[in-house]
Chains A and B, each alone.
Chain A
């Protein structure tokens, strides 16, 4: 079956513009995660969805970041008024359930965002 897909693969934008990043999880996966990966660093948790609700938005770096999810499918991460420090790879993962202790997270290939 299809894995997690993300689009676009790469996005170059100018400082101050808004961007939308899309994630299509594996069908049937109720949990969805967004992570940010800065160059040479590990993954930084941004937000987690269980179904279409987001119990934990504490990882979002600022109010310029928002995310939504339609049902148990597509999720969109929106960054408004992009800044150069937003440049990173944004990874999406999905899993059957919400506990990574016994629900393997399957990752997409990420979106590389470059803010000029």
Chain B
């Protein structure tokens, strides 16, 4: 069975600094998709970034980028120039093309220090 693990329950970073959130997953599939979602205190889950496993190039979205290591089954999220509005829970998720379910990690709480 596929699993997603986020080993950091909480991370803190100084405003304007860079922080990396970790995610590992377990799968025997070769074709799959990975996501990072942000959940602010409003509870509304927002997609931050997605990565297709068949793509070697790491996905980037403005200040957000991933380090996708397929062999190591690692999918970390890097947030550059952290802003107060980045404070939230961050969830890593996995799915396969043939699936309609997302499999979620337990989340990492990101605290931004002003």
Contact = CB atoms under 8 A, between A and B. Distances in A.
Interface of A: 3, 31, 40-45, 48, 55-56, 89, 91, 93, 98-102, 104-105, 107-110, 112
Contacts of B47: 104-105
The main secondary structure of chain B at its interface with chain A is loop
Contacts of B64: none
Contacts of B100: 31, 48, 55-56, 98-100
A105 B33 CA distance: 14
Contact of B102 (A41, A105, A110): A105
B45 A107 contact: yes
Query: What class of interface size applies to chain B in its complex with A?
Result: 20 to 34
Contacts of B93: 43
B43 A42 contact: no
B95 interface: yes
A91 to B, nearest CB: 7
A42 B105 contact: yes
Contacts of B46: 107
